[in-house]
Amino acid sequence: MTGQGATSEREMRGVRRLIVLGSTGSIGTQALEVVRHLNGLHGAGASPVRYEVVGLCAGRNAGLLAEQAREFGVRECGLAGGGVIDGVRCRVGPGAAEALVREVEADVVLAAIVGVAGLPATLAAVELGRDVALANKETLVAAGALVVPAALRSGARLLPVDSEHSAAWQCLAGLPGSEEWPPMEAPSCVRRLVLTASGGPFRTWSAARAYDATPEEALAHPTWSMGSKVTIDSATLVNKGLEVVEAHWLFGLGADRIGVLIHPGSIVHAIAELSDGSAIAQLGAPDMRVPIQHALSAPLRLPGCGRALDIDSLRTFEFETPCEDRFPAIGLARRVVEAGGTSGAVFNAANEAAVDAFLRARSIRFGRIVEIVGEAMEAIAPRPVRSLADVMEADGEARAFVASRVGEGLAHRVR
Ligand code: NDP
């Protein structure tokens, strides 16, 4: 199960030790809800799997982290922003998550820290051969060239939590020639993998109106309830760009075999187009507990705690091809897949810095986010990725570039 040698007595009892990174966030709290549910099923004799939470890590929310530690009986934690929790060994500072992963034995690490801040801990988990339930897509975008080879060496499985990649995994896994667990090479019978995008809150707005959207307008996502950074990424469609790169690393597909389709209902999450002319799609209600549970219980299909799809109420599916002039983030992501090297780290870091400038400092307009990302990619040539240091150097360069551009934009400070 874990790539860590002989099956232990604990594993035979179905107990899996879990570390949750980013436990106080949107994905982290929903993951703990799934764990409560799975453990309830186990207690009722309805599931062979039970999760023992052995580590939790958060950024600043010490109050919620303490509550979670108490509820799940966790004694090993990390709190990047610093703090003390009674009865708990708490690692602090920016290296807290990585230290927790390296020091606490686990079978599965759920990676749900937002941004490249989650990279060192996720990479450590992969190197240690832990299965990684991966929500932190920024890790693969910035450092897929390190993470995927490390997973292949250690035997770690990368279990997608992102709904589109969970869907893609479910579409691909049963096909002839396919492996069961990512990272995998999509078999040659897959002509194209199509990821769907809701289109975000500005799909029907004119480009000019969307350019000046406020943070509040950009945070009002039509179908998903998520953390603030990924919600802004959904509005710019950078999220879909990040997901194109994530799909490249998880399923071994080139940019020409990954498509994007706008689907405002967020019911169909991914479609595999096959060489025989048929296509396999995965459907589900827009509820992250469904893919989280799949990551934590596959290949089993256990009663779910997420919203079930009401098939009888489905009437029409609306799809449209995204206009890449209107949503240039998708084209930028294709360039990342083609260029490789540090281009993913630049794409990701420029976006993180630009989103921060828009959301927290309110120092750039909404429409500038993707423009600045494109400018950073033009200005910073990709270099080979040999180590984490290469990734972090490119990350730092992209952030410095954005800081210089944001400074220029201060004269036009937004509402
Ligand atoms: P949130 O902003 O809701 O949560 C982020 C979590 O990361 C919080 O627990 C936060 O702690 C923690 N954190 C932040 N910085 C650090 C740090 N330096 N060290 C340790 N912990 C840190 O984000 P989401 O849950 O929405 O997203 C998490 C990841 O999942 C992202 O990569 C996102 O793209 C991906 N994802 C999210 C989806 C969603 O529906 N939300 C869907 C698919 C993917 P604290 O709050 O205590 O400061």
pLDDT digit string (tens) for 6-23? Answer: 567 887 888 999 999 999
Nearest CA residue ID for atom 2, ligand 1:
227
3-state secondary structure of 18: strand
Structure tokens at 301: 């299909």
Shortest-distance Cα residue to atom 17 of ligand 1? 59
Stretch among 66-75, 242-251, 402-411 having the lowest mean pLDDT: 402-411
For residue 224 and ligand 1, the question of a CB distance below 6 A is answered with yes
With vertex at residue 250, the alpha carbon angle to CA 367 and CA 227, rounded to the nearest 5 degrees, is: 40
The distance of Cα 156 from the centroid of its chain, to the nearest Å, equals 17
Q: Do 397 and 341 meet the contact criterion of CB atoms below 8 Å apart?
A: no
Asked if the structure places residue 411 within a domain, the reply is no
State whether the beta carbon of 26 lies less than 6 angstroms from ligand 1. yes
Please give the C-alpha separations between residue 330 and each of 50, 292, 337, in angstroms, as whole numbers. 39, 25, 11
Q: Is the CB of 170 under 6 A from ligand 1?
A: no
Question: Above 50 in pLDDT, residue 64?
Answer: yes
DSSP letters spanning 193-227: EEEEE---TTTTS-HHHHHT--HHHHT--SS----
Same domain, 47 and 137: yes
In Å, what is the CA distance from 133 to each residue of 9, 14, 96, 199? 23, 17, 19, 26
Q: Is residue 415 part of a domain?
A: no
Considering the domain architecture, whether residues 239 and 132 belong to the same structural domain is answered as no
Q: How far from the centroid of its chain's Cα atoms is residue 255's Cα?
A: 19
The tokens describing 225, both together, are 């309830």
First-to-last CA distance in the chain? 52
Residue 333 lies in a domain: yes
Number of domains in the chain: 2
Closest CA to ligand 1's atom 14: 59
Percent of the chain as helix, strand, coil, to the nearest 5: 45, 15, 40
Question: What mean pLDDT is reported for the chain?
Answer: 95
Counting Cα atoms < 13 Å in the Cβ hemisphere of 411 gives 3
Q: Distance from the CA of 321 to the center of ligand 1, in angstroms?
A: 29
Encode pLDDT of 132-152 as tens digits. 999 999 999 999 999 999 999
**Nearest Cα residue to 221 out of 254, 198, 242:** 198
C-alpha pair distances (Å), 224 with each of 26, 121, 186, 265, 329:
11, 27, 28, 10, 20
59 and 156 fall within a common domain = yes
Does residue 126 share a domain with residue 213? Answer: no
Distance (Å) from CA 385 to ligand 1 centroid: 25
Whether residues 57 and 108 share a domain: the answer is: yes
Average pLDDT, integer, range 65-76: 98
Token match 């998550």: residue? 97
Specify if 193 maps to a domain.
yes
Give residue 322's domain range.
170-406
Mean pLDDT of 186-192: 98
Which pair of structure tokens corresponds to residue 414? 């937004």
Q: Residue 192 has what pLDDT?
A: 98
Residue 389 lies in a domain: yes
Which atom of ligand 1 is least distant from the CA of 28? 25
Residue position matching structure tokens 């600045």: 372
Domain end (from 144, 161, 178)? 161
Percent of the chain with pLDDT over 70: 96
Instruction: Supply the CATH number for residue 252's domain.
Output: 1.10.1740.10
Measuring CA to CA, which residue among 119, 122, 114, 55 is closest to residue 90? Answer: 55
Do 138 and 186 belong together in one domain?
no
- Angle between the 388-409 and 368-379 helix axes, to the nearest 10 degrees? 130
Q: List Cβ neighbours of 319 (8 Å cut-off, separation of 6 or more).
A: 196, 261, 262, 263
* Pocket of ligand 1 contains residue 57 by CB under 6 Å: yes
Q: Are residues 207 and 135 in the same domain?
A: no
Instruction: Say whether both 279 and 259 belong to one domain.
Output: yes
368/176 Cα distance (integer angstroms): 45
In angstroms, what CA-CA distances link 230 with 43, 52, 113, 209?
35, 28, 11, 21
Domain boundary pick from 136, 161, 186: 161
Among the ranges given (6-20, 177-191, 306-320), the one the predictor scored with the smallest mean pLDDT: 6-20
CATH number of the structural domain spanning residue 75: 3.40.50.720
Helices marked H in 252-387: 289-297, 329-339, 343-359, 368-379
Is 238 found in the same domain as 139? no
Residue 414 lies in a domain: no
Sort strands 268-274 and 279-283 into parallel, antiparallel or unpaired. Answer: antiparallel
Window from 305-319, 370-384, 401-415 with minimum mean pLDDT: 401-415
> In this structure, are 191 and 145 located in the same domain?
no
- Token pair of 391, please? 């990734």
Same structural domain, 227 and 124: no
**What separation in Å is there between the alpha carbon of 43 and the centre of ligand 1?**
30
Please identify, among 161, 178, 200, the residue that sits at the C-terminal boundary of a domain: 161
Give the residues across from 159 on adjacent strands. 133
User: Rounded to whole angstroms, how far apart are CA atoms 230 and 415?
Assistant: 22
Two structure tokens written together for 306: 């997420």
Summarize the confidence of residues 370-379 as an average pLDDT: 98
CB burial of residue 274 (10 Å; 0-12, 13-18, 19+): middle
Verify that 231 and 128 share a domain, yes or no.
no
Residues 267 and 287: their CA atoms lie apart, in Å, by: 10
Does the pLDDT value for residue 105 go beyond 80?
yes
Q: Are 104 and 75 in contact (CB under 8 A)?
A: no
Q: Give the position of tokens 């060489």.
A: 275
In this predicted model, what pLDDT tens digit does every residue of 214-263 receive, in sequence order?
999 999 988 888 999 999 999 999 999 999 999 999 999 999 999 999 99
